[in-house]
């Protein structure tokens, strides 16, 4: 026996959800997958940037850059570092390691690039190459700013500028 024709607006037997909604579901699925992949990449980049910026060689290089009278004269104060340094670190067994970074610096008067190369032997970092290129000016060597007295004086100047010096440092 023949079946009667379907009523207008009635669904056919066997038509599933995907068959009815694929026109909007497919672009939405692609968009969701792309957003998730972008979020994972962004998270990885920000974590790497945070990790590299918190490393000891990077911190020491930024301290030296902010304490350099020559660099402050060229860039002005405050000297800020860029979001994403280029380079990386490698640790070796026995307390050794190697670090290389290219850091973009900026100040009120201009921009510069800081080149850092550091090696660690027996737990101590050495900075054989640490200099800044600012525009057409000569390179500014930051390797000389490594003595303890200069570091203490610079730290005192920085904490006074921030207003968070310990009471003993204020004397």
Identify the residue with better confidence: 79 or 2. Answer: 79
CA dist., res. 33 & res. 75, Å (int) = 43
Specify whether 33 is located in the same domain as 78: no
- Is residue 171's pLDDT more than 60? no
Q: What is the pLDDT of residue 121?
A: 87
Do 62 and 138 belong together in one domain? yes
Instruction: Please give the share of the chain, as a percent, with pLDDT higher than 70.
Output: 81
Residue pLDDT, tens place only, 5-47: 777 766 665 678 888 888 999 999 999 999 999 999 999 999 9
Please state at what angle helix 56-67 crosses helix 17-53, rounded to 10 degrees: 60
Average pLDDT over residues 62-69: 86
39, 119: one domain: no
Output the average pLDDT for the chain: 83
Q: What is the pLDDT of residue 170?
A: 46
Number of domains in the chain: 2
40 is a domain residue: yes
Task: Answer yes or no: do 39 and 81 share one domain.
Answer: no
* 136 and 116 fall within a common domain: yes
Q: Residue for token digits 């900026």?
A: 106
User: Residues 98, 35: one domain?
Assistant: no
Mean predicted confidence (pLDDT) in 77-99: 85
- Considering the domain architecture, whether residues 39 and 62 belong to the same structural domain is answered as no
Tell me what pLDDT residue 146 has: 64
Same domain (yes/no): 27, 74: no
CATH code of residue 153: 3.10.450.320
Q: Which residues contact 87 (CB under 8 A, 6 or more apart)?
A: 52, 99, 100, 101, 102, 116
55 pLDDT more than 60: yes
Angle between helices 56-67 and 148-162 (to 10 degrees): 80
In this prediction, residue 92 has a pLDDT band, given cuts at 50, 70 and 90, of confident
Same domain, 97 and 117: yes
Could you tell me the pTM of the whole model? Answer: 0.70
Domain that residue 48 falls in? 20-54
CA–CA gap between residue 60 and residue 134 (Å, rounded): 19
Q: Are the C-beta atoms of 160 and 152 separated by less than 8 Å?
A: no
Write the pLDDT tens digit of every residue in 125-141. 888 888 899 887 788 88
Are β-strands 140-141 and 86-92 bridged in parallel, bridged antiparallel, or unpaired?
unpaired
Region 131-156: mean pLDDT is: 75
In a domain, 12, yes or no: no
If asked whether residues 94 and 163 sit together in one domain, one would say yes
Same domain, 30 and 112: no
Q: Does the pLDDT value for residue 142 go beyond 70?
A: yes
Selection from 74, 82, 78, 80 nearest residue 161 by Cα: 78
Judgement on whether residues 150 and 110 belong to the same structural domain of the protein: yes
* Average confidence (pLDDT) over 148-163: 66
């Amino acid at each position: 026996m023949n079946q009667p024709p379907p009523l207008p607006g009635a669904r056919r037997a066997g038509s599933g959800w995907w068959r009815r909604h694929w026109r909007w579901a497919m672009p939405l699925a692609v968009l969701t997958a792309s957003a998730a992949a972008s979020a994972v990449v962004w998270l990885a980049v920000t974590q790497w940037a945070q990790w590299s910026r918190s490393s000891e060689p990077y911190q020491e290089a930024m301290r030296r850059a902010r304490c350099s009278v020559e660099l402050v004269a060229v860039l002005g104060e405050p000297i800020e570092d860029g979001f994403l340094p280029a380079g990386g670190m490698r640790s070796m067994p026995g307390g050794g390691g190697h670090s290389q970074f290219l850091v973009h610096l900026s100040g009120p008067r201009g921009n510069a690039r800081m080149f850092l190369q550091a090696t660690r032997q027996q737990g101590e970092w050495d900075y054989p190459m640490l200099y800044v290129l600012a525009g057409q000016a000569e390179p500014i060597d930051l390797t000389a700013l490594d003595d303890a007295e200069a570091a203490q004086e610079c730290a005192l100047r920085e904490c006074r500028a921030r207003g968070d010096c310990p009471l003993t440092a204020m004397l």
